[in-house]
A = this chain, B = another copy of it.
Amino acid sequence: MSLLTIGSAAYDTLETPFGRRERALGGSGVYASFAASFFAESRLIGVVGEDWNPEYSALLRSRNVDLAGLEVRAGEKTMFWDGRYFDDMNQRETRCFEANVMGGDYVPLVPDAYKASPYVFLGNMAPTTHMALLDAIETPKLVVADTMDFYINGMRAELLQLLKRIDGLILNDGEAALLTGDRSPISAGRKILELGPKFVVVKKGEHGAMWIGRDEIYLVPAFPTDKVVDPTGAGDSFAGALMGSLAESDDLSPESIKKALLSATVVASLNVEGFSMESFQKATRADVDARIAAFKKALV
């Protein structure tokens, strides 16, 4: 089944202990739609400026990411982020952020061909944008959203509205604590279920992730690697691969959910091994499957 992702496409200037890149390919929608493309027909909705590098679109298209929903707006500039990761790469600082074309109220343009998309991933964007997209989609099978501290703090009412319209929420442990006031990922997750979603996926970075449903819980450790060159997009790749794998399985059986969590973990680990999309773009489905097999050997 096909997966429709909405999210940002951006230029990222990145500095980590391993080096630096200028205006590299980035954005939540880019990472997520690319990650999903290992498993399912992947469609991206987003907006960039007239400075957008067509080679970046070509890269996504080479993996069959459908960009009919990627609007290129004349007279505008693409979103830009300049960030530095510290020696402890769990810590980072934003040196510069320019929303540019993503500033103001971005209303997504939804191609007619996308309106029956069965699987929908609402990547990191304003909950108002998420709801505008949902208004244009006809009876999707599964809608999952990501969010972040900026919207939890600044658009809480809109986020609570959105939570009533989605099947699942993906967020990290700090964001779950911020949203609920509960530091325990399990009880924070259960509090979020009371706000609407049927399941919550709490990402814990180097400590893995947990899927919390009404009657079930699933746990996945992080892939055991020290080869982290650039963590940018790890969470977006995780979410995109999770959704792509669920779209491929086309059900929410325990087996499909477990396979999706394994796939998400492994795809995120492939993403962080190079700057931006540098190593990620070389990975194939065979690489993903081989790493899943190796990962399974380490799991109890």
**CB 8 Å contact bits of A133-157 with B (1 = contact, 0 = none):** 0000000000000000000000000
Q: In the assembled complex, how far is the CB of residue A216 from the closest CB belonging to chain B, in whole angstroms?
A: 7
A226 at the interface (CB under 8 A from B): yes
**CB 8 Å contact bits of A208-243 with B (1 = contact, 0 = none):** 101000001111110011100000000000000000
- Stretch of A124-132, A179-187, A270-278 with 4 or more beta carbons under 8 angstroms from chain B: A179-187
A258 at the interface (CB under 8 A from B): yes
Q: In the assembled complex, how far is the CB of residue A4 from the closest CB belonging to chain B, in whole angstroms?
A: 26
> Given contacts A186-B224, A207-B204, A207-B207, is CB(A298)–CB(B217) below 8 Å?
yes
B183 & A216 in contact (Cβ 8 Å cutoff): no
A74 at the interface (CB under 8 A from B): no
- List residues of chain B with CB within 8 A of the CB of A261: 300
- List residues of chain B with CB within 8 A of the CB of A219: 221, 224, 298-300
| A187, A204, A262, A299 interface centre (most CB from chain B within 10 Å) | A299
- List residues of chain B with CB within 8 A of the CB of A22: none
- List residues of chain B with CB within 8 A of the CB of A224: 186, 210, 217, 219
A88 at the interface (CB under 8 A from B): yes
Interchain CB contact (< 8 A) of A300 among B218, B226, B297: B218
Q: A204-B207, A258-B300 are in contact. List 12 more A-B contacts (CB 8 A).
A: A88-B183, A184-B226, A186-B225, A187-B226, A207-B207, A207-B208, A208-B221, A217-B298, A218-B299, A219-B299, A221-B221, A259-B300
